[in-house]
Amino acid sequence: MKLRFILAVMAALIIQGCAQTPLSPKGEAVFYALQADTMLRTWVSQCRDVSPRARQAGLTARNNWWERNGPFVEGADFGLAYNIVTVTDTRADTGARLAMAMTWEVTERAEETVTKLMDKAGDEEGREELCIKILGQYNQGKWDLHGSDETYNELVTLQRRSVNDAEILDLRRGMVELKTQRQYGRSLYVVEKLSKREGCPNAEVQLLKGEWPYEIYDVSCPGANHLLMRCEWGNCLVLQ
């Protein structure tokens, strides 16, 4: 946990950008967008099992929110990925762990916030009411990505660069992977935590499909049991 905290701090420094690259965004805009997306996905995940009504509200809110805000999230993720691969270069272990730490950090914050509110809501009826209220706000645009004018302008810039400069990032990633012959999953720390929650401590985690933001992991538990997990933007679920 201490190592992950240190890496999370380092990742936060990375997202602030390097003065030498014009693609480097301000860290506030990147973290703001990634945290907002993760918060919504956490609400959808925790409300899914509350009731069919809450589940449907979650699906509707996620689809409508993403339609309005998805390009900004993708732009923010591009900014983070570009800075990490630029700073760490062929030190793939370091870059991968920074990306994992960032994913773990935003997920941890979102889970802590949503869990506290759900616990405070009390019984199933209270949780359903809370889910409908919060997800309705997402659906109506209350939690859309705006922020300050400066933050919004940064997000617009990143969104444009994620489209115009995608080939630059792919080329740099390809050079690193070719030289190191390694591929990493950004959701590893999240999968490890979820494995413990599912009664599978000290699991061996293997990335089966690593096409971020979608990843699939095989989790080998002590006793020859296996879990299959699918992750989307760092939000992971056990596949039945």
Same domain, 115 and 178: yes
Pair 191, 216: CB distance under 8 Å: no
Lowest pLDDT segment from 5-9, 126-130, 232-236: 5-9
Last residue of a domain, one of 184, 208, 225: 184
* Residue scoring higher pLDDT (84 or 128): 128
Same domain, 136 and 107: yes
Q: Tell me the residue range of the domain where 144 lies.
A: 2-184
Pair 79, 25: CB distance under 8 Å: yes
Confidence (pLDDT) at 55:
96
Mean pLDDT of 204-230: 86
Same domain, 79 and 134: yes
Mean pLDDT of 233-240: 84
Determine the Cα–Cα distance for residues 166 and 115; give it in Å rounded to an integer. 36
Same domain, 163 and 204: no
Lowest pLDDT segment from 17-21, 86-90, 97-101, 180-184: 17-21
- pLDDT for 145 beyond 80: yes
Same domain, 69 and 129: yes
Mean pLDDT of 37-61: 95
Same domain, 163 and 195: no
Same domain, 178 and 192: no
Determine the Cα–Cα distance for residues 144 and 147; give it in Å rounded to an integer. 9
Mean pLDDT of 211-236: 87
Same domain, 175 and 191: no
Number of domains comprising the chain: 2
Q: In percent, how much of the chain has pLDDT > 90?
A: 34
Same domain, 167 and 134: yes
Same domain, 12 and 58: yes
**For residue range 38-47, what is the model confidence (pLDDT) as tens digits?**
999 999 999 9
Same domain, 111 and 221: no
* Residue scoring higher pLDDT (80 or 227): 227
Same domain, 71 and 60: yes
